Structure 1
């Protein structure tokens, strides 16, 4: 990595961002799925800063019980505090903890980066929620860790909260979907809200993220055997159903469903469809009366022709520069290179590098357009 690191420093020269670190992550056999997601999360700056702030503010972090949260914080702090600007670190402690906690990730088979991301975020939330419920010692009725877990100005007094805990993980990634069902007999609309950390979108050949989002929110008619039980009519009725984004998250994570089960084959197949993902994205199909605007800052790429083998790399935007992370190797790339990861317009193509998980950061705040 020495030569690669020097090359990267040389490429950035005087433009190397003050205080930033660009470090590759060692691969322990099959951990590219983990490395690619960790790089995307590290360059999700609000998440990184809040994780480090939380851990630094906790009482005696060195004495804290080891879990995925402490291991992730240790790893991010290790990178963040390096004297060198570039290099390689080994996320050994984090990977060991991950394998210890979840047998799915113990094998040396090809793992799914999206499944790992989902597991990690939910595990972090579980840990923070457990900490908030832990009995307070001495006269400390509102501990530092609880304040930081809730984020600034959102701690519940004396820990007596009835609402679910809103952690900094929620504040970054959580959005709200509303599932609306309209009875075609009485016109009554039934709405049910559900939270999400990422949106999984079905994909089609030669499409775009915008069209995938429109399909996600399209109206579906429930009839025949799929009729809806209307509480007002007290009977099964034909209805129209649609899913809309009620509250857009600060960090919008989009998972492209590139692995599809094909009945005829009796197995999963990778869809290499060309799906254009823009650098700037506008969410116009939300319940809110304004457009939520986003900027792309990371892409986890699946390299390979099938779902059971292959490799993961990540593209990351940092201080207006795009970087390519491939385990231990880090290099600078031109923004135009991103287009090569959209997918293929032909069914059979030698290009097997496809965008799989997209990370967008919100550039507009609530109430603005």
Structure 2
């Protein structure tokens, strides 16, 4: 499988991107923020080989070619300096069953593409250790629930209510972690 489009492999098969999460946001918002410019300053400055010193710079990530499979990884863990450890960000991130994605590059190959949510990895627990994840795969109106050595068939509606789509924020210990969207094309 290739992750980079090339002459030998003209189609971008899959793309995994890590996106920041905020309180009460959506996957659409997270993906939009992924392409925003970020100013690198203080300790993050870049060394300039022309003037031979560190300079502020702008960093921006753009998607030129839309993939067949998009796998946004939600950055659920953040290092807290005052605690000297990673903590889980249990922010609710609403994700849609259908996603319209637009290319963020000016020299675009394809303007937009529709995607369907086909699977998700859900992180259970309050912290990064020990990590326990379950995987949910949607198929023909029902969901397959993979939890260690157990595989269960579940109603698709029940899965939607549990992870990401419900407005109930009290289920913070179980959070969507990696989403898998498949292109309709």
1:269 Cα deviation from its structure 2 partner: 1.0
1:215 Cα deviation from its structure 2 partner: 1.3
Alpha-carbon distance change, 236 to 339 in structure 1, aligned in 2, over 3 angstroms = same
Paired residues for 1:30-109 under 5 Å: none
More relative contact order, 1 or 2 (CA 8 Å, 6+ apart): 2
Paired residues for 1:266-345 under 5 Å: 266-287=84-105, 288=108, 290-326=111-147, 327-335=149-157, 337-342=159-164
1:229 Cα deviation from its structure 2 partner: 3.4
Q: Distance in 1 between matches of 2:56 and 2:87?
A: 34
Q: Name the count of aligned residue pairs.
A: 177
Cα distance per residue 1:254-297 (max 9 Å; x no partner): 11111221111111111111001111111224222511221100
For the 8 Å contact 2:27–2:94, the answer to whether it is kept is yes
1:204 Cα deviation from its structure 2 partner: 0.6
Q: Distance in 1 between matches of 2:172 and 2:57?
A: 43
For the 8 Å contact 2:141–2:155, the answer to whether it is kept is no
- 3-state DSSP of counterpart to 2:13: helix
Query: Equivalent residue for 2:175?
Result: 354
Q: Distance in 2 between matches of 1:239 and 1:309?
A: 37
Unpaired stretches in structure 2, ≥5 consecutive residues: none
TM-score by length of 2: 0.77
Alpha-carbon distance change, 293 to 335 in structure 1, aligned in 2, over 3 angstroms = same
- 3-state DSSP of counterpart to 1:273: coil
2:76 counterpart of 1:254 = no
- 3-state DSSP of counterpart to 1:325: strand
For the 8 Å contact 1:295–1:361, the answer to whether it is kept is yes
Structure label with greater radius of gyration: 1
Alpha-carbon distance change, 350 to 220 in structure 1, aligned in 2, over 3 angstroms = closer
Alpha-carbon distance change, 238 to 230 in structure 1, aligned in 2, over 3 angstroms = farther
Alpha-carbon distance change, 228 to 352 in structure 1, aligned in 2, over 3 angstroms = same
TM-score by length of 1: 0.42
For the 8 Å contact 1:260–1:270, the answer to whether it is kept is yes
For the 8 Å contact 2:64–2:103, the answer to whether it is kept is no
One of 71, 76, 82 as aligned partner of 1:264: 82
Q: Distance in 1 between matches of 2:172 and 2:79?
A: 22
2:25 counterpart of 1:207 = yes
Alpha-carbon distance change, 350 to 238 in structure 1, aligned in 2, over 3 angstroms = closer
Q: Distance in 1 between matches of 2:161 and 2:90?
A: 14
Q: Distance in 2 between matches of 1:284 and 1:165?
A: 25
More strand by share: 2
For the 8 Å contact 2:115–2:183, the answer to whether it is kept is yes
Unpaired stretches in structure 1, ≥5 consecutive residues: 1-46, 48-120, 123-162, 174-196, 365-369
RMSD (CA atoms): 3.4
